[in-house]
Amino acid sequence: MHCPVCGVNNDEDGECEHLLLHGDDMTMGQLMEKAGTEQLWKELCLRHPRLRDGSPSDFLDHYARYFPSLVAVEGSSWEGGGPGCSGIYTFIYAKRALWQELRDFLEQKLEKLLAEQLAKKLALKLKRKLARKVAKKPGTAADGGTPLKGM
């Protein structure tokens, strides 16, 4: 594979500085491990399980606008001589290491999810509190009586 930044043939000339990560059938766990964000990733996946699905290629393609250093994510499929002997070899290229960008992105996503969950809990708590107040108010249908009109 030729680097889209400097043109080096990473297969023949050795790895250039822009090739951040490459691997066969790469997982999100491998990407997060390399970035040093495994704990953040696990925490985020607990709250948003759909993120666990997919490959690093899918993830980086989908959220590319948050990673200005990212240049390209390329996959090269390969097949071997028998059943189960195939896969996709993934290459991730960037102008500079995008690990801090990835960490910032995950922290922002986690903060947003936590804020949304907290807002939902507070709204539910407030709704229940208001319902109890209405239920205790004399002269309302909630206490078994009928609303008093004109008094």
Cα distance between residue 24 and residue 84, in whole Å: 13
pLDDT tens, the chain, 151 aa long: 899 999 999 888 889 999 999 988 888 989 999 999 999 999 988 888 887 777 899 999 999 999 999 999 998 888 876 666 778 889 999 998 899 999 999 999 999 988 988 888 898 989 888 888 887 776 655 555 555 555 4
**CB proximity list for 103: less than 8 A, separation 6 or greater:** 35, 36, 37, 40
Largest CA distance in the chain: 92
- DSSP conformation letters of 15-42: --TTEEEEEET--HHHHHHHHT-HHHHH
8 A C-beta contact, residue 73 and residue 91: yes
User: What is the residue type of 60?
Assistant: L
